[in-house]
Amino acid sequence: MSGLPNYLWKRLIIPLAFLTIVFLGLALFFPWQGFFVNLTATFIGILVTVLYVDFIIKQHEKSRWAQAKALIEKRIMSFANVSASQFRITFGISHNVLNREAMDVNNPSSVRKEMIRLTQDILLPSVDSSVQRLNTADWKKLINQLKITWEGADKLCSVFGNRIEPEKLSLIIEIQDEIWGIMSFYATFPDVIGVPDDELPPIKGRSGISDKRAMEKVISTNIKTILEKTILLLKALDT
């Protein structure tokens, strides 16, 4: 019932409820051979009918879209898995960290739980040190992968956006924004990010290492946010 559009509440439900209360009050003080009682019963009947019809329509729509929703959520799960796994690969963390005994590939919920564990217990704690170890070749591979992931988010939003729950859609867009932040930062400072410390040219008469560390800190924050949002997205798929 709470799913009724706002305009129906404002223009139909609330006015009907108000008139029902008014006629009920009038019936108590002015019996008039049951005139106001009949009006009250009529308006109550209209209210019940509207709410019941809305419930039936929503149940029908839910049933009709059940299979499509499952397929859309499968794509969302793939996007979430890639969002985390792209950093596992870049950080040089072996796929052996996955607990295959605890993960049933035929059970999406089981896979999500293992991806959450991997992201939360292994990837997040390793972000700062791993970012500092990335060289120029690592960064080029990561940026190429980030572009693919960003485009995947864009397709999800543009093609299925009107069928994805707001909470999940917001998380996808937030992950996409953080990815864009990393790509933009790298595009601005490709001559610093990933360059070995001893090859950095001085910046305004001082060592460029401190600037590089500051940039790595910003990027690490972006990556941590992506991983945290990915965990929330995987959890949202189980609710």
Per-residue three-class SS string for the chain = CCCCCHHHHHHHHHHHHHHHHHHHHHHHHCCHHHHHHHHHHHHHHHHHHHHHHHHHHHHHHHHHCHHHHHHHHHHHHHHHHHHHHHHHHHCCCCHHHCCCCCCCCCCHHHHHHHHHHHHHHHHHHHHHHHHHHCCHHHHHHHHHHHHHHHHHHHHHHHHHHHHCCHHHHHHHHHHHHHHHHHHHHHHHCCCCCCCCHHHCCCECCECCHHHHHHHHHHHHHHHHHHHHHHHHHHHHCCC
pLDDT band with cut points at 50, 70 and 90 for residue 39 = low
pLDDT band with cut points at 50, 70 and 90 for residue 27 = low
- pLDDT value of residue 131: 97
Highest average pLDDT, of 44-58, 79-93, 105-119, comes from 79-93
- pLDDT value of residue 33: 55
Q: Which of 5-14, 148-157, 200-209 is predicted with the least confidence, judged by mean pLDDT?
A: 5-14
| Mean predicted lDDT score pLDDT of the chain | 85
